[in-house]
Amino acid sequence: MEIIPAIDIIDGKCVRLTQGDYAQKKIYNEHPLEVAAAFEDAGLRRLHLVDLDGAKAGAVKNWKVLETLASRTGLVIDFGGGIKTAADVDIVFNSGASLATVGSIAVKDAALFVSWLGSYGAEKFLLGADVKNEKIAIGGWQETTDIWIYDFVREYMDKGVRQVFCTDVSKDGLLQGPALELYRNIIVEFPELHLIASGGVSEMDDIYRLEEAGCKGVIIGKAIYEGFILLNDLSKYNAD
């Protein structure tokens, strides 16, 4: 299973929010490149980079941070936050992202997202599915839809999407463990899906449980920054 550390960006700085609340912001490092380099030094190969300014503004904002990390590390970066137009997608790929992370737009404007899948290739997108009681949540999790997670995943797998990361909103940032039952159910329904867990991971045992459940990757943020999971332990996990 692939370990994917997360860097969330506000004003060019590495931060974390609790349950998507901008009022609950904590700055961890003013230099994201230092953080990314530490991840790479630990033997990690992927990075989940989130433009929180972009997510709030509805347009990509922190592409220069992406450009810096992509040009000065060898990390495979997926980048999301504020991708709303084809111009945003172009900025993301031109700035060095390997994958564009898309969530709300796949719910609000499915036709547009499907057109991007055709133009750029479905393999270039990481689909984000934020979930509250098995229903898709959008708009910084403030808005819960009537769309069942299984219908959402099925719709886009039929269009060629294979990588999906799923965040249980009730778990994110609380360090109380991931949504194992949800992930098991999704994997039973879609055994060929490259499912990436996100939210709630607080210890190495969570990582082993997610691997046993069949997840192909796990995004980890706060647990690393707060010292609950050490980069040295992640490095050993990768080496096993």
Rounded CA Rg of the chain? 16
CA distances, 22 to each of 141, 179, 218 (Å): 12, 23, 23
Q: Give the whole-angstrom CA distance, residue 218 versus residue 85.
A: 28
Residue 102: name the closest of 146, 152, 64 by CA.
152
Active-site residue identified among 51, 130, 168, 206: 130
Find, among 105, 63, 62, 69, the residue nearest to 85 by Cα.
Answer: 105
Nearest alpha-carbon partner for 178 in 150, 145, 217: 217
Q: Which two tokens stand for residue 209?
A: 């449980």
Q: Which of 8, 78, 172, 206 is catalytic?
A: 8
Separation of alpha carbons 151 and 162, rounded Å = 15
Are the beta carbons of 121 and 145 closer than 8 angstroms?
A: no
Sign of the Cα torsion 10, 119, 99, 172 reads positive
Confirm whether 109 is a catalytic residue.
Answer: no
Please tell me the distance from the alpha carbon of residue 90 to that of residue 162, in angstroms, as a whole number.
Answer: 21
Tokens of 112: 């547009």
Q: Which two tokens stand for residue 117?
A: 């899948």
* Annotation marks residue 130 as catalytic: yes
Which residues carry out catalysis? 8, 130
